[in-house]
Amino acid sequence: MTIENKSFQWIINIIMMAIAIACLIPFSLLIMSSISSEASIIQNGYTFFPEEFSMKAYGYLWTHWSELGRAYGITVFITVVGTAASLAITSMLAYPISRSDLPLKNLFAFLVFFTLLFNGGLVPTYLIYTQVFHLKNTIWALLIPGLLMNGFNVLLVRTFFMTSIPPALIEAASIDGAGEIKIFYRIVLPLSLPIMATIGLFAAILYWNDWFNGLTYVTDSKYFSIQTILNKMMTDIQFLTSNSNIAGSSATSEIAEIPSTSVRMAIAVIGVLPILIAYPFFQKYFIKGITIGAVK
Amino acid sequence: MKKKFGWLSAILALMILIAACGTNSGSDNTAEKASESNESGEVSEAPYEVVYAFPIFQSVPKDLNLVQDEINKISKAKINVTVKLLPISISAWTNQINLMMTSGEKLDMLAHFDYSTQVSKGKLYPIGDIMEQYGKGIIDALGQDYYNATKINGKSYGVPSIRDLAQDYGYIIRKDLVEKHNIDLSQVKTYEDYEKIFSVIKAKEPNMVGVTNMSGNSVLGTYSTRDSLGDDFGVLLNNGQTDFEIVNWFATDEYAQQLKTIRKWYQAGYILKDAAQNQEATQAIIKAGKAAGNFSHMKPGFEAQESRGIGMKVVAVRTAPAVAKTSTVTNVMLGVSSNAEKPEKVLQFLNLMYTDKDIVNLFDWGIEGKHYVKMEGQDNMIKYPDGVDGDNVGYFGYGWMHGNQFLSQVFEGDDPEVFIKQAEFNKTAVKSKALGFTFNSEPVKTEVAAATGVLQQFRRGLESGVLDVDKELPKFIAKLKDAGIDKIMEEKQKQLDEWAKANGN
Amino acid sequence: MMSHLAQTAPLAKTSQETNIKKKQGLKKLKRYLPLFLLMIPGLVYLIINNYLPLFGMVIAFKDINYSKGIFGSDWIGLKNFEFLFRSSDAFIITRNTLLYNGAFIIINTVIAVAIAIILNDIKNKFLSRFYQSVIVLPYLISMVVVGYLAFSVFSIDSGLMNKTILPMLGMKDISWYTEPQYWPYILTIVHAWNGAGFLCVIYLASIISIDPEYYEAATLDGASKWQQVRAITIPLITPVITMMTLLAIGRIFYSDFGLFYQVPMNSGALADTTNVIDTYVFRGLMVLGDIGMSSAAGVYQSIVGFVLVIVSNYIVRKVNRENALF
């Protein structure tokens, strides 16, 4: 390596390190806040160096463990199944549209794009899914509405296929007698691992973070996902604290005992951690080397 | 190009088809409903199931179904009706009810907090029509005055749960501070007098302010000397005691004076600097020793309730009289859904919630021996059984929501006579002249939306003393004018005059 | 007679033409059938999830009454749209929405592409992976929590700024939540912090897939790093940048609600620089909860976005057909 290259590496590493710190600082503030005591947060706000530590927030979440444990299971299930299904149908739709020789490809692209801008809103969507497909209070309600595929990912993958897969390669395979479907999964997909990992990550984040479907299509608490419960807890606490006259009427001492200021931070922490653990799995496909050059 | 249109029109056709199906099924439903209500005289064999949706602010209690079964034992024997409790998280509440109602899912009875909108949007069945027949007990429990307050154009669409139906206003402060610094609370007679408390706190407790904001609200919070007539766009001054002339509250001298006082306090350091942004609960702030107290609306037993919430004894100063207004009555209501198949059956069940002591106690406290036990030697007082506490009890209910709370037992720690006192309070409270008038904002909803936006923008800052009154109040008033507050007030005055005439004023 | 002949002749001709076309069409269909089959699940999903619910747009033109149902409710024309323009702030919120989103598109794209290029050049495998994970972290934190974190910095009483940083610089306290002039910068920074990492992953995926042979050849020719970036990387990821930008333009009338509502802590005094269409609609409808009016706001935002995208796509097509969306 030349000296110039070495100093170049130094410079870019310093830049990236600065950016990484900028991303990490607020996150560490989050973690510190979740283990600060209620009183010290109220007196001094959220700080990196709280006067007094307290695990009360996690203790509070722990008392809801039976609920949360089940919800974690649901979330892992829908994230895994949903991400796999999402990857499959997204790439299956994106590939044909990416082919410049496909008849009507612009129309299809437009149809996909149109869905990004216009939507009928929650009410009609709910009507379709509950009245026509009877998804209410089923596990499908967490998998299908709104999450399974989105136009953004389709167009992203399509653009990737268009720019990164040389048409000559497909033609060559076609001449060799490979069918379209075989070409798709034997040549196109293996060449597209980085983008597949990217949208896989996006889909996984989407499924993992989704609480809306749980609140909309599910009233039976047995199908609540982790984010649905966390979101409910957060809004419940917010509601209880801002409507003390209502809360105070119930005899439970719970309201006074909820460490509300640190709990919301603890909730954010336990919601994010698993995604961080899953991240390296997707990252594996972010390596250089599986490139067209290597295949050729 | 042609092909493109072909595709689009195919999709369009499909959509119209679905839409048409939707309409069909909709009209079928109403036809069914009509035919069924015709034959309501017949006695049906199977018990009718009432689906009762209500908001819940915690996780669903694990013994909910057990309690439901117990309630059903009684209601089935008495009126051949069973209930299915459908608790919905408060975060999903509004959406979920809208969705259930548009999609025609089974929903018979619901709690609600915005009576006027619910009625104008057609969500509620006009129970007034069948009230005399099936809901007599509710009228008796409520008293004619308060029942009349629910009538819109002469018809009732829902009934308030029986709880504190009036409100008085004042300030609570930690008892230990009052004793420590010998603060004479009796010298506080008016709103301006609170300064006497705040200045002592400021001088003696350097790390504490005199007053904090109500959580999610301003410092002034719910403190009120007017009848807001629902939304504060056009109010009656002096708690609606004088006449029926609607005025723009935000442009009154009284309001300006209140704001100036608050501003003065803010600048003197009596108020939290972050009062307009602060996201913490009032109780937590007081508990942490950052503030001495806060303004609030009140009721008998309020001190005990707040002491429990804060975890320290508090005392209250009351400076505005107890008043009953439409808003204090209708802010927690129960009603029959316009989707209900057999409204009369639903109303019969609702009637039980206002008359049957056993049902009320099941709703409020759960099953005796399992979720609560009677306290020895004290009639009507209950506590947790041994080994049970607030964290692990299998059931909890919201007494203030489920019907007639005055039939409920009193939990350990509360004044044994709290409900008797509240009933007395409801009776003796001053009644606004406009009690019973509910404003229908539908004709001016554009203006209401725009004005609500303005309110959101200015109110919390001004009423917390954070903003400069001389500069921002005129802006606030001007923007409200732009948004059309005059038109709202005109409509409101019109409706109020009609209402007053119809009610013999 | 003449006219009859004159009519039939071209008719015959066209039917012959269509026959040929049909045959070609059949052959084409057979060839592309597998591809169309692949598309079926995705298209069916789009129809169910996106196209069928479109009938709900009628809600925007109706006065919804629940006892009458959606279709039985009265038509009220454009009345639901009126409140969008009723306020004297209509100009301010439209301006804010457009300016912020315009700035966000440019700034975030530049930052994301720059980081992606740098990341791609990092030789140390471990560090590279570390950076990649860390930059998406902010994207995973909800805006409500970001709002609390921002509050810990800007709180008048106990914030980092007023308590530590400003005194260190010898400056006076600033009442952050009542002084609108600072917020365009704060919001832009928060948005970049929150969203650039996510965008960066997309660009990184495209850069990784660039054939290394290009760079090898360029290095042999003695091209500098900067020249390589300009001549190879940027042109090759331009289609992705164009697509992302077009999509962002389509949503230019929408705004990140959490960013504009939660981060300024719903402070009314900041409205001049923080009020956007979504927050205006939210505040106005908080009490009324009118689905007709909220639906109207959505339709308005969609239509403006749609028109803007069609225009920009047309321009992109003129410049380079390949890069156009459709």
Residue of B294, B389, B403, B296 lying closest to B348 (CA atoms): B403
Please check whether residues C138 and C225 belong to one and the same domain.
yes
Task: Please report the DSSP string for B339-404 in residue order.
Answer: T-S-HHHHHHHHHHHHH-HHHHHHHHH-SBTTTBEEPTT-TTEEEPPTT--TTT-S----TTTSSB
Q: Which pTM value belongs to this model?
A: 0.87
* Pair of tokens at residue B378: 């004290």
Q: CB under 8 Å to C211, separation ≥6 — which residues?
A: A291, A292, A293
Q: Is B290 near chain A, with CB under 8 Å?
A: yes
The shares of helix, strand and coil residues in chain B, as percent rounded to the nearest 5, are 50, 15, 35
Please check whether residues B245 and B107 belong to one and the same domain.
no
- Look at residue C63 and tell me if it is in a domain: no
Nearest residue in C to A274, CA atom: C140
Output the domain CATH number for residue B352.
3.40.190.10
Please check whether residues C37 and C159 belong to one and the same domain.
no
> What residue type is assigned to position C76 of the chain?
I
- The total of structural domains in chain C comes to 2
Query: Which chain B residues are Cβ-neighbours of A225 within 8 angstroms?
Result: none
- Look at residue B252 and tell me if it is in a domain: yes
Smallest Cβ–Cβ distance between A244 and the set B3, B86, B283 belongs to: B283
Please check whether residues B61 and B155 belong to one and the same domain.
yes
Question: Using the 8-state DSSP alphabet, how is residue B275 labeled?
Answer: T
**Each residue's pLDDT tens digit, C21-51:** 666 767 777 788 999 999 999 999 999 999 9
- ipTM value of the model? 0.89
Contact between B198 and B353 (Cβ < 8 Å): no
Please check whether residues B413 and B499 belong to one and the same domain.
no
Q: CB under 8 Å to C305, separation ≥6 — which residues?
A: A117, C249, C250, C251, C252, C253, C254
- Look at residue B463 and tell me if it is in a domain: yes
- Look at residue C132 and tell me if it is in a domain: yes
Compute the nearest-CA separation of A67 from chain B (Å).
Answer: 9
Residue ranges covered by each domain of chain A: 63-295
Please check whether residues B174 and B200 belong to one and the same domain.
yes
Please check whether residues B447 and B492 belong to one and the same domain.
yes
- Look at residue B139 and tell me if it is in a domain: yes
| Cα dihedral sign, B361-B364-B369-B372 | negative
* Pair of tokens at residue C241: 């940048």
- Is pLDDT at B11 greater than 50 in this prediction? no
Please check whether residues C51 and C87 belong to one and the same domain.
no
Output the domain CATH number for residue C98.
1.10.3720.10
In which residue ranges of chain A is pLDDT below 70? 1-3, 240-259, 286-296
Interatomic CA distance for residues A227 and A210, integer angstroms: 6
**Residue B378 C-alpha from the chain's centroid:** 32
* Pair of tokens at residue B39: 């034959």
Contact between A143 and A81 (Cβ < 8 Å): yes
Q: What is the dihedral of CA B347, B348, B351, B353, to 10 degrees?
A: -100
Interatomic CA distance for residues A88 and A154, integer angstroms: 11
CB proximity under 8 Å: C 295-324 to A: 295, 298, 302, 305-306, 309, 322
- Compute φ and ψ for B51, nearest 5 degrees: -90, 115
Contact between C39 and A92 (Cβ < 8 Å): yes
Q: Is A125 near chain C, with CB under 8 Å?
A: yes
Please check whether residues B175 and B308 belong to one and the same domain.
yes
Domain boundary, last residue among B393, B414, B440: B440
- Look at residue C71 and tell me if it is in a domain: no
Please check whether residues B67 and B57 belong to one and the same domain.
yes
Interatomic CA distance for residues B328 and B135, integer angstroms: 22
Please check whether residues C25 and C157 belong to one and the same domain.
no
Helix (H/G/I), strand (E/B), else coil: B107: coil
Compute the nearest-CA separation of A118 from chain B (Å).
Answer: 14
- Look at residue C123 and tell me if it is in a domain: yes
Smallest Cβ–Cβ distance between A181 and the set C38, C148, C159 belongs to: C38
Please check whether residues B312 and B209 belong to one and the same domain.
yes
Q: What is the mean pLDDT of residues B99-122?
A: 91
Q: What is the mean pLDDT of residues B459-487?
A: 94
Compute the nearest-CA separation of C264 from chain B (Å).
Answer: 9
Query: Between chains, do A256 and B311 touch, taking CB under 8 Å as contact?
Result: yes
Using a pLDDT cut of 90, give the percent of chain C over it.
Answer: 52
Query: Between chains, do A47 and C152 touch, taking CB under 8 Å as contact?
Result: yes
CB proximity under 8 Å: B 439-498 to A: none
**Amino acid C88: pLDDT:** 77
Residue of B150, B81, B136, B89 lying closest to B109 (CA atoms): B81
Query: Between chains, do A8 and C121 touch, taking CB under 8 Å as contact?
Result: yes
Rounded to 10 deg, the angle between the B64-79 and B343-355 helix axes is 110
Question: Using the 8-state DSSP alphabet, how is residue B238 labeled?
Answer: G
Q: What is the mean pLDDT of residues B277-287?
A: 83
Please check whether residues B129 and B173 belong to one and the same domain.
no
> What residue type is assigned to position C311 of the chain?
V
- Look at residue C72 and tell me if it is in a domain: no
Stated length of chain B: 505
- Look at residue C180 and tell me if it is in a domain: yes
Please check whether residues B254 and B334 belong to one and the same domain.
no
Q: Is B14 near chain C, with CB under 8 Å?
A: yes
- Look at residue C70 and tell me if it is in a domain: no
Q: What is the mean pLDDT of residues B232-239?
A: 93
Element (H, E) at B52: strand B48-56
Interatomic CA distance for residues B222 and B298, integer angstroms: 10
On whether the A63-295 domain is CATH 1.20.272.10, my answer is no
Q: What is the mean pLDDT of residues C234-246?
A: 92
**Residue B80 C-alpha from the chain's centroid:** 31
CB proximity under 8 Å: A 24-43 to B: 38-39, 42-43
Compute the nearest-CA separation of C265 from chain A (Å).
Answer: 14
Give the largest Cα separation in chain C, rounded: 100
Smallest Cβ–Cβ distance between A241 and the set B4, B207, B281 belongs to: B281
**Each residue's pLDDT tens digit, B162-175:** 988 999 999 999 99
Which residue range is the domain that position B233 belongs to?
A: 167-323+442-505
Query: Between chains, do B90 and A235 touch, taking CB under 8 Å as contact?
Result: yes
Residue of C251, C245, C230, C231 lying closest to C98 (CA atoms): C251
Q: Is B288 near chain A, with CB under 8 Å?
A: yes
**Each residue's pLDDT tens digit, C275-290:** 999 999 998 888 788 8
Please check whether residues B431 and B452 belong to one and the same domain.
no
Helix residue ranges, H only, C155-211: 160, 166-168, 183-208
Q: Is B107 near chain A, with CB under 8 Å?
A: no
- Look at residue B158 and tell me if it is in a domain: yes
Strands (E) in B299-434, as ranges, are 314-324, 333-336, 373-374, 381-383, 410-411, 430-431
Residue of B80, B50, B53, B71 lying closest to B395 (CA atoms): B71
Contact between C277 and C97 (Cβ < 8 Å): yes
Q: What is the mean pLDDT of residues B316-338?
A: 92
Q: What is the mean pLDDT of residues B364-386?
A: 90
- Is pLDDT at C228 greater than 60 in this prediction? yes
Which residue range is the domain that position C253 belongs to?
A: 79-323
Query: Which chain A residues are Cβ-neighbours of B306 within 8 angstroms?
Result: 244, 248
Query: Between chains, do C287 and B114 touch, taking CB under 8 Å as contact?
Result: yes
* Pair of tokens at residue A211: 């609480």
Q: Is A128 near chain C, with CB under 8 Å?
A: yes
Q: Which residues pair with B271 in a beta bridge?
A: B211
- Look at residue C74 and tell me if it is in a domain: no
Q: Is B428 near chain A, with CB under 8 Å?
A: no
Query: Between chains, do B390 and A254 touch, taking CB under 8 Å as contact?
Result: yes
- Look at residue B496 and tell me if it is in a domain: yes
Q: CB under 8 Å to C82, separation ≥6 — which residues?
A: B446
Please check whether residues C11 and C147 belong to one and the same domain.
no
Q: Look up tokens 């809901």; give the residue.
A: B135
**Amino acid B22: pLDDT:** 40
Please check whether residues B294 and B176 belong to one and the same domain.
yes
**Amino acid C37: pLDDT:** 93
Residue of B164, B189, B184 lying closest to B320 (CA atoms): B189
Please check whether residues C93 and C217 belong to one and the same domain.
yes
DSSP collapsed to 3 states, A45-89: CCCCCCCCECCHHHHHHHHCHHHHHHHHHHHHHHHHHHHHHHHHH
